[in-house]
Amino acid sequence: MVDTDAQPGCSAPLVDRAARPGGTTIQVRDVVVGGPEFVVAAGPCAVEDAPQLTATAAAVAGSGARLLRGGAFKPRTSPYSFQGLGEDGLALLAEAGRAHGLPTVTEVVAAGDVALVASYADVLQVGARNTQNFALLEALGAAGRPVLLKRGMATTLDELLLAAEYVLANGNPDVILCERGIRTFETATRNTLDLGAVAVLKARTHLPVLVDPSHASGRRDLVSPLALAAAAVGADGLLVEVHHDPDRARCDGPQSLTPSMFADLMRDLVGHLALGGRSLGGRLPDVAAPAMNAYRDRIDAIDDVLVRMLQERVALGLRLGRIKDAAGTPVWVPERESDVISRAAGSTDGPLAPAAVARVLRAVVAETRAAQAPSAETAA
Protein backbone atom coordinates (compact mmCIF):
# COMPACT_ATOMS: atom_id res chain seq x y z
CA MET A 1 0.00 0.00 0.00
CA VAL A 2 1.20 3.51 -0.78
CA ASP A 3 2.29 5.56 2.21
CA THR A 4 0.04 8.58 1.75
CA ASP A 5 1.77 10.39 4.62
CA ALA A 6 4.68 11.07 2.30
CA GLN A 7 2.54 12.77 -0.32
CA PRO A 8 1.49 16.40 -0.40
CA GLY A 9 -2.27 16.89 -0.72
CA CYS A 10 -2.96 13.32 0.35
CA SER A 11 -6.49 12.20 -0.07
CA ALA A 12 -9.22 12.47 2.52
CA PRO A 13 -12.22 11.08 0.63
CA LEU A 14 -14.79 11.25 3.41
CA VAL A 15 -14.29 14.95 4.10
CA ASP A 16 -13.77 15.92 0.46
CA ARG A 17 -16.42 18.28 -0.88
CA ALA A 18 -17.04 15.82 -3.71
CA ALA A 19 -18.50 13.39 -1.15
CA ARG A 20 -21.28 15.90 -0.38
CA PRO A 21 -21.24 18.77 -2.86
CA GLY A 22 -24.18 20.48 -1.18
CA GLY A 23 -22.35 20.71 2.15
CA THR A 24 -22.97 19.08 5.50
CA THR A 25 -25.33 20.47 8.09
CA ILE A 26 -24.86 19.42 11.67
CA GLN A 27 -27.78 19.38 14.06
CA VAL A 28 -26.97 20.26 17.65
CA ARG A 29 -30.31 20.03 19.46
CA ASP A 30 -32.32 22.85 17.81
CA VAL A 31 -29.28 24.53 16.22
CA VAL A 32 -28.09 23.78 12.69
CA VAL A 33 -24.42 24.42 11.95
CA GLY A 34 -23.45 24.70 8.30
CA GLY A 35 -26.91 25.77 7.11
CA PRO A 36 -28.03 29.16 5.84
CA GLU A 37 -27.81 30.73 9.27
CA PHE A 38 -24.59 32.02 10.80
CA VAL A 39 -24.15 30.37 14.19
CA VAL A 40 -22.31 32.05 17.05
CA ALA A 41 -20.92 30.01 19.95
CA ALA A 42 -19.89 32.22 22.85
CA GLY A 43 -18.89 32.04 26.48
CA PRO A 44 -15.88 32.13 28.75
CA CYS A 45 -12.55 30.52 27.98
CA ALA A 46 -12.85 28.49 31.19
CA VAL A 47 -15.74 27.70 33.49
CA GLU A 48 -14.54 29.33 36.72
CA ASP A 49 -17.48 29.22 39.12
CA ALA A 50 -21.27 29.37 39.11
CA PRO A 51 -21.63 33.20 39.34
CA GLN A 52 -19.18 33.75 36.46
CA LEU A 53 -20.85 31.24 34.19
CA THR A 54 -24.40 32.25 35.08
CA ALA A 55 -23.73 35.93 34.37
CA THR A 56 -21.82 35.25 31.15
CA ALA A 57 -24.32 32.70 29.84
CA ALA A 58 -27.22 35.09 30.45
CA ALA A 59 -25.37 37.83 28.57
CA VAL A 60 -24.48 35.77 25.50
CA ALA A 61 -27.93 34.18 25.33
CA GLY A 62 -29.53 37.63 25.56
CA SER A 63 -27.48 38.85 22.61
CA GLY A 64 -28.37 35.96 20.33
CA ALA A 65 -25.57 33.39 20.78
CA ARG A 66 -26.82 29.93 19.78
CA LEU A 67 -24.25 27.78 21.58
CA LEU A 68 -22.60 28.21 24.98
CA ARG A 69 -18.87 27.56 25.17
CA GLY A 70 -16.72 27.08 28.26
CA GLY A 71 -13.70 24.94 29.07
CA ALA A 72 -13.71 22.52 32.00
CA PHE A 73 -10.53 20.68 30.99
CA LYS A 74 -8.04 23.34 29.96
CA PRO A 75 -4.88 22.44 28.04
CA ARG A 76 -2.69 25.20 29.49
CA THR A 77 0.78 26.01 28.20
CA SER A 78 2.06 26.28 31.78
CA PRO A 79 1.44 23.54 34.36
CA TYR A 80 1.02 26.31 36.94
CA SER A 81 -1.92 27.98 35.17
CA PHE A 82 -5.56 27.28 36.08
CA GLN A 83 -6.33 23.83 34.65
CA GLY A 84 -10.12 24.04 34.77
CA LEU A 85 -12.75 22.64 37.14
CA GLY A 86 -12.98 19.23 35.46
CA GLU A 87 -16.25 17.40 35.97
CA ASP A 88 -17.62 20.14 38.26
CA GLY A 89 -17.12 22.57 35.37
CA LEU A 90 -18.93 20.24 32.98
CA ALA A 91 -21.91 20.12 35.36
CA LEU A 92 -22.00 23.93 35.68
CA LEU A 93 -21.81 24.33 31.90
CA ALA A 94 -24.62 21.83 31.31
CA GLU A 95 -26.80 23.58 33.88
CA ALA A 96 -26.19 27.06 32.41
CA GLY A 97 -26.88 25.73 28.91
CA ARG A 98 -30.16 24.21 30.06
CA ALA A 99 -31.17 27.42 31.84
CA HIS A 100 -30.82 29.42 28.63
CA GLY A 101 -31.76 26.78 26.08
CA LEU A 102 -28.25 26.81 24.61
CA PRO A 103 -26.47 23.61 23.55
CA THR A 104 -22.94 23.50 24.98
CA VAL A 105 -19.43 23.23 23.53
CA THR A 106 -16.49 22.16 25.67
CA GLU A 107 -13.03 20.77 25.15
CA VAL A 108 -11.97 17.18 25.67
CA VAL A 109 -8.22 16.71 26.04
CA ALA A 110 -7.80 12.95 26.38
CA ALA A 111 -9.28 9.88 24.73
CA GLY A 112 -10.14 8.50 28.17
CA ASP A 113 -12.32 11.55 28.94
CA VAL A 114 -14.52 11.34 25.84
CA ALA A 115 -17.38 9.39 27.44
CA LEU A 116 -17.42 11.63 30.52
CA VAL A 117 -17.44 14.88 28.53
CA ALA A 118 -20.04 13.48 26.11
CA SER A 119 -22.32 12.71 29.05
CA TYR A 120 -22.50 16.46 29.83
CA ALA A 121 -21.85 18.40 26.63
CA ASP A 122 -23.49 18.67 23.22
CA VAL A 123 -20.38 19.39 21.14
CA LEU A 124 -16.89 18.08 21.95
CA GLN A 125 -14.07 20.46 21.10
CA VAL A 126 -10.59 19.33 20.11
CA GLY A 127 -8.16 22.12 20.91
CA ALA A 128 -5.32 23.43 18.79
CA ARG A 129 -2.80 21.50 20.85
CA ASN A 130 -4.57 18.23 20.10
CA THR A 131 -5.46 18.52 16.41
CA GLN A 132 -3.27 15.55 15.56
CA ASN A 133 -3.84 13.52 18.73
CA PHE A 134 -4.92 10.51 16.71
CA ALA A 135 -5.95 8.40 19.71
CA LEU A 136 -8.31 11.21 20.75
CA LEU A 137 -9.64 11.59 17.20
CA GLU A 138 -10.31 7.85 16.98
CA ALA A 139 -12.12 7.87 20.31
CA LEU A 140 -14.27 10.76 19.06
CA GLY A 141 -15.41 8.56 16.21
CA ALA A 142 -17.58 6.74 18.71
CA ALA A 143 -18.53 9.75 20.88
CA GLY A 144 -22.07 10.07 19.57
CA ARG A 145 -21.65 13.86 19.65
CA PRO A 146 -20.59 16.41 17.04
CA VAL A 147 -16.91 17.37 17.19
CA LEU A 148 -15.52 20.89 16.88
CA LEU A 149 -12.03 20.31 15.52
CA LYS A 150 -9.68 23.26 15.84
CA ARG A 151 -6.75 23.77 13.54
CA GLY A 152 -3.43 23.47 15.34
CA MET A 153 -1.19 26.50 15.28
CA ALA A 154 1.27 24.67 13.01
CA THR A 155 -1.17 22.43 11.17
CA THR A 156 -1.49 22.66 7.40
CA LEU A 157 -4.94 22.47 5.86
CA ASP A 158 -4.11 19.02 4.46
CA GLU A 159 -3.25 17.89 7.97
CA LEU A 160 -6.42 19.43 9.38
CA LEU A 161 -8.55 17.68 6.77
CA LEU A 162 -6.83 14.38 7.49
CA ALA A 163 -7.42 14.88 11.22
CA ALA A 164 -11.13 15.35 10.44
CA GLU A 165 -10.95 12.26 8.21
CA TYR A 166 -9.86 10.26 11.29
CA VAL A 167 -13.10 11.15 13.07
CA LEU A 168 -15.29 10.39 10.05
CA ALA A 169 -13.41 7.17 9.27
CA ASN A 170 -14.04 6.06 12.84
CA GLY A 171 -17.78 6.45 12.51
CA ASN A 172 -18.67 10.04 13.37
CA PRO A 173 -19.79 12.16 10.38
CA ASP A 174 -20.46 15.30 12.45
CA VAL A 175 -17.29 17.36 12.42
CA ILE A 176 -17.15 21.15 12.47
CA LEU A 177 -13.78 22.69 11.59
CA CYS A 178 -12.44 25.81 13.29
CA GLU A 179 -9.74 28.19 12.09
CA ARG A 180 -8.26 29.82 15.22
CA GLY A 181 -5.06 31.42 13.96
CA ILE A 182 -1.68 29.95 13.18
CA ARG A 183 1.79 30.77 14.44
CA THR A 184 3.76 33.06 12.14
CA PHE A 185 6.65 35.50 12.51
CA GLU A 186 4.14 38.19 13.53
CA THR A 187 4.08 39.14 17.20
CA ALA A 188 1.52 41.97 17.20
CA THR A 189 -1.23 39.41 17.66
CA ARG A 190 -1.29 36.15 19.61
CA ASN A 191 -1.57 34.18 16.36
CA THR A 192 -2.26 35.10 12.74
CA LEU A 193 -5.84 34.54 11.61
CA ASP A 194 -5.69 32.66 8.32
CA LEU A 195 -8.87 33.84 6.63
CA GLY A 196 -7.68 32.37 3.35
CA ALA A 197 -7.95 28.99 5.07
CA VAL A 198 -11.69 29.50 5.41
CA ALA A 199 -12.10 30.03 1.68
CA VAL A 200 -9.85 27.04 0.93
CA LEU A 201 -11.69 24.79 3.38
CA LYS A 202 -15.12 25.79 2.08
CA ALA A 203 -13.96 24.75 -1.38
CA ARG A 204 -12.21 21.55 -0.37
CA THR A 205 -14.57 20.06 2.20
CA HIS A 206 -18.29 19.78 2.82
CA LEU A 207 -17.77 20.23 6.57
CA PRO A 208 -18.89 23.49 8.23
CA VAL A 209 -16.14 25.96 9.15
CA LEU A 210 -16.17 28.27 12.15
CA VAL A 211 -13.68 31.02 12.97
CA ASP A 212 -12.33 31.79 16.43
CA PRO A 213 -11.22 35.44 16.37
CA SER A 214 -10.42 35.39 20.11
CA HIS A 215 -7.47 32.97 20.13
CA ALA A 216 -6.41 34.25 16.71
CA SER A 217 -5.90 37.79 17.95
CA GLY A 218 -5.40 37.56 21.69
CA ARG A 219 -6.79 41.10 21.91
CA ARG A 220 -10.39 42.01 22.56
CA ASP A 221 -10.19 45.17 20.42
CA LEU A 222 -9.47 43.00 17.36
CA VAL A 223 -12.14 40.38 17.89
CA SER A 224 -15.03 42.23 16.22
CA PRO A 225 -13.24 43.27 13.01
CA LEU A 226 -11.89 39.73 12.57
CA ALA A 227 -15.32 38.27 13.27
CA LEU A 228 -16.90 40.47 10.59
CA ALA A 229 -14.14 39.49 8.17
CA ALA A 230 -14.84 35.82 8.94
CA ALA A 231 -18.50 36.35 8.04
CA ALA A 232 -17.47 38.07 4.81
CA VAL A 233 -15.15 35.25 3.74
CA GLY A 234 -17.90 32.66 4.12
CA ALA A 235 -17.44 31.11 7.56
CA ASP A 236 -20.46 29.27 8.94
CA GLY A 237 -20.15 30.93 12.32
CA LEU A 238 -17.89 31.95 15.17
CA LEU A 239 -16.45 30.73 18.43
CA VAL A 240 -16.00 33.79 20.63
CA GLU A 241 -14.75 34.23 24.17
CA VAL A 242 -16.91 36.44 26.38
CA HIS A 243 -16.52 37.04 30.11
CA HIS A 244 -18.83 39.04 32.38
CA ASP A 245 -15.74 40.65 33.95
CA PRO A 246 -12.76 39.95 31.67
CA ASP A 247 -10.21 41.75 33.82
CA ARG A 248 -10.82 39.16 36.51
CA ALA A 249 -10.87 36.14 34.19
CA ARG A 250 -8.66 33.22 35.21
CA CYS A 251 -7.95 32.43 31.58
CA ASP A 252 -7.67 34.53 28.40
CA GLY A 253 -9.11 37.72 29.90
CA PRO A 254 -7.28 40.07 27.46
CA GLN A 255 -9.03 38.51 24.48
CA SER A 256 -12.45 38.09 26.11
CA LEU A 257 -15.22 40.47 25.07
CA THR A 258 -17.31 42.18 27.68
CA PRO A 259 -21.05 41.47 27.40
CA SER A 260 -21.66 44.89 25.87
CA MET A 261 -18.88 44.43 23.29
CA PHE A 262 -20.43 41.09 22.40
CA ALA A 263 -23.87 42.69 22.02
CA ASP A 264 -22.32 45.31 19.69
CA LEU A 265 -20.63 42.59 17.64
CA MET A 266 -23.90 40.69 17.24
CA ARG A 267 -25.66 43.86 16.10
CA ASP A 268 -22.89 44.63 13.59
CA LEU A 269 -23.01 41.06 12.31
CA VAL A 270 -26.67 41.45 11.36
CA GLY A 271 -25.84 44.20 8.89
CA HIS A 272 -22.78 42.46 7.46
CA LEU A 273 -24.56 39.14 7.03
CA ALA A 274 -27.55 40.80 5.37
CA LEU A 275 -25.24 42.11 2.65
CA GLY A 276 -24.41 38.50 1.81
CA GLY A 277 -28.05 37.40 2.03
CA ARG A 278 -27.50 35.61 5.35
CA SER A 279 -28.75 36.07 8.89
CA LEU A 280 -27.84 35.28 12.45
CA GLY A 281 -29.26 31.96 13.48
CA GLY A 282 -31.96 31.51 15.97
CA ARG A 283 -34.62 33.20 17.88
CA LEU A 284 -34.15 36.79 18.83
CA PRO A 285 -33.72 37.44 22.54
CA ASP A 286 -36.83 37.23 24.68
CA VAL A 287 -39.04 40.28 24.68
CA ALA A 288 -37.97 41.87 27.91
CA ALA A 289 -37.02 45.49 28.40
CA PRO A 290 -33.27 45.11 27.77
CA ALA A 291 -33.90 42.77 24.87
CA MET A 292 -36.18 45.31 23.18
CA ASN A 293 -33.09 47.41 22.65
CA ALA A 294 -31.48 44.44 20.92
CA TYR A 295 -34.48 44.23 18.55
CA ARG A 296 -34.29 47.95 17.86
CA ASP A 297 -30.54 47.80 17.28
CA ARG A 298 -30.99 44.96 14.81
CA ILE A 299 -33.77 46.80 13.00
CA ASP A 300 -31.56 49.91 12.78
CA ALA A 301 -28.70 47.82 11.39
CA ILE A 302 -30.99 46.24 8.79
CA ASP A 303 -32.42 49.65 7.81
CA ASP A 304 -28.88 50.94 7.23
CA VAL A 305 -28.21 48.02 4.89
CA LEU A 306 -31.56 48.41 3.11
CA VAL A 307 -30.95 52.09 2.42
CA ARG A 308 -27.40 51.46 1.24
CA MET A 309 -28.59 48.74 -1.14
CA LEU A 310 -31.50 50.86 -2.33
CA GLN A 311 -29.12 53.66 -3.27
CA GLU A 312 -26.85 51.20 -5.05
CA ARG A 313 -29.82 49.78 -6.97
CA VAL A 314 -31.01 53.21 -8.09
CA ALA A 315 -27.47 54.24 -9.07
CA LEU A 316 -27.20 51.11 -11.24
CA GLY A 317 -30.59 51.88 -12.80
CA LEU A 318 -29.41 55.38 -13.67
CA ARG A 319 -26.20 54.07 -15.25
CA LEU A 320 -28.19 51.53 -17.25
CA GLY A 321 -30.55 54.31 -18.40
CA ARG A 322 -27.61 56.39 -19.68
CA ILE A 323 -26.23 53.38 -21.59
CA LYS A 324 -29.65 52.77 -23.18
CA ASP A 325 -29.94 56.47 -24.05
CA ALA A 326 -26.55 56.42 -25.75
CA ALA A 327 -27.52 53.28 -27.66
CA GLY A 328 -30.79 54.91 -28.73
CA THR A 329 -32.95 52.17 -27.14
CA PRO A 330 -35.97 53.05 -24.99
CA VAL A 331 -35.05 53.59 -21.32
CA TRP A 332 -38.37 52.35 -19.95
CA VAL A 333 -39.48 48.90 -21.05
CA PRO A 334 -42.66 48.00 -19.13
CA GLU A 335 -42.39 44.22 -19.87
CA ARG A 336 -38.83 44.12 -18.52
CA GLU A 337 -39.99 46.01 -15.44
CA SER A 338 -42.71 43.48 -14.62
CA ASP A 339 -40.28 40.59 -15.29
CA VAL A 340 -37.80 42.10 -12.83
CA ILE A 341 -40.48 42.45 -10.18
CA SER A 342 -42.04 39.02 -10.59
CA ARG A 343 -38.64 37.28 -10.61
CA ALA A 344 -37.52 38.86 -7.34
CA ALA A 345 -40.92 38.59 -5.62
CA GLY A 346 -41.32 34.99 -6.78
CA SER A 347 -38.20 33.79 -4.97
CA THR A 348 -39.13 35.25 -1.62
CA ASP A 349 -39.69 33.35 1.58
CA GLY A 350 -40.73 34.99 4.86
CA PRO A 351 -43.55 36.76 6.62
CA LEU A 352 -44.08 39.23 3.76
CA ALA A 353 -46.28 37.71 1.01
CA PRO A 354 -44.96 37.78 -2.59
CA ALA A 355 -47.66 40.31 -3.55
CA ALA A 356 -46.51 42.63 -0.76
CA VAL A 357 -42.87 42.26 -1.84
CA ALA A 358 -43.95 43.09 -5.40
CA ARG A 359 -45.65 46.28 -4.18
CA VAL A 360 -42.45 47.39 -2.43
CA LEU A 361 -40.38 46.61 -5.52
CA ARG A 362 -42.83 48.52 -7.74
CA ALA A 363 -42.31 51.54 -5.50
CA VAL A 364 -38.53 51.16 -5.83
CA VAL A 365 -38.78 50.89 -9.60
CA ALA A 366 -41.07 53.94 -9.75
CA GLU A 367 -38.58 55.94 -7.68
CA THR A 368 -35.75 54.83 -9.96
CA ARG A 369 -37.72 56.04 -12.97
CA ALA A 370 -38.43 59.36 -11.24
CA ALA A 371 -34.70 59.74 -10.53
CA GLN A 372 -33.97 58.96 -14.19
CA ALA A 373 -36.20 61.80 -15.39
CA PRO A 374 -36.44 64.34 -12.59
CA SER A 375 -37.46 67.10 -14.97
CA ALA A 376 -40.30 65.02 -16.42
CA GLU A 377 -41.57 64.36 -12.91
CA THR A 378 -41.39 68.05 -12.04
CA ALA A 379 -43.28 68.85 -15.19
CA ALA A 380 -45.97 66.24 -14.49
Complex with Mn ion: residue 168 or 176, whichever CB lies closer? 176
180 binds, among ligand PEP, Mn ion, none (CB under 5 to 8 A by kind): ligand PEP
Complex with Mn ion: residue 84 or 271, whichever CB lies closer? 84
CA distance 373 to 101: 54
194 binds, among Mn ion, ligand PEP, none (CB under 5 to 8 A by kind): none
**How big is the chain, counted in residues?**
380
CB of 256 to Mn ion, least distance (A): 8
CB of 299 to ligand PEP, least distance (A): 33
CB of 149 to ligand PEP, least distance (A): 10
**Number of residues binding to Mn ion, judged by CB under 5 A:** 2
Beta 31-33 vs 37-43: how paired, if at all? Answer: unpaired
Determine contact, residues 209/202, Cβ cutoff 8 Å. Answer: yes
Complex with Mn ion: residue 165 or 252, whichever CB lies closer? 252
CB of 126 to ligand PEP, least distance (A): 8
CA-derived radius of gyration, the chain:
24
Q: Which residues, other chains included, contact 304 with Cβ-Cβ below 8 Å and sequence gap of 6+?
A: 271
Torsion of CA 91, 94, 98, 100, to 10 degrees: 110
Determine contact, residues 359/344, Cβ cutoff 8 Å. Answer: no
CB of 143 to ligand PEP, least distance (A): 18
Complex with ligand PEP: residue 145 or 180, whichever CB lies closer? 180
CB of 354 to ligand PEP, least distance (A): 44
Complex with Mn ion: residue 219 or 369, whichever CB lies closer? 219
Tell me which stretch binds Mn ion (CB under 5 A): 39-47, 52-60, 224-232, 271-279. Answer: 39-47
Burial of 82 (0-12, 13-18, 19+ CB in 10 A): middle
Tell me which stretch binds Mn ion (CB under 5 A): 106-114, 248-256, 330-338, 368-376. Answer: 248-256
CA angle 267/268/270 to nearest 5° reads: 70
**Binding Mn ion by CB under 5 A: which of 45, 201, 210, 227?**
45
CA distance 190 to 192: 7
Determine contact, residues 180/150, Cβ cutoff 8 Å. Answer: yes
Is there binding between residue 236 and Mn ion (CB under 5 A)? Answer: no
150 binds, among Mn ion, ligand PEP, none (CB under 5 to 8 A by kind): ligand PEP
Is there binding between residue 252 and Mn ion (CB under 5 A)? Answer: yes
| Sequence-ordered alpha helix ranges (H) in the chain | 50-62, 87-100, 114-120, 134-140, 157-169, 195-204, 213-217, 220-233, 259-275, 289-327, 334-346, 354-372, 374-379
Residues 327-356 contacting Mn ion, CB under 5 A = none
How many Cα neighbours within 13 Å face the side chain of 140? Answer: 33
Q: Number of helices (H) and strands (E), helices first, in the chain?
A: 13, 11
Complex with ligand PEP: residue 262 or 368, whichever CB lies closer? 262
Amino acid at 179: E
CB of 45 to Mn ion, least distance (A): 3
CB of 180 to ligand PEP, least distance (A): 4
Tell me which stretch binds Mn ion (CB under 5 A): 40-48, 291-299, 347-355, 368-376. Answer: 40-48
Determine contact, residues 360/307, Cβ cutoff 8 Å. Answer: no
66 binds, among Mn ion, ligand PEP, none (CB under 5 to 8 A by kind): none
Tell me which stretch binds Mn ion (CB under 5 A): 15-23, 139-147, 246-254, 338-346. Answer: 246-254
**Residues lying near ligand PEP in the complex (CB under 6 A):** 45, 71, 127-129, 150, 180, 212, 215
CB of 41 to Mn ion, least distance (A): 13
Interacting residues toward Mn ion by CB under 5 A: 45, 252
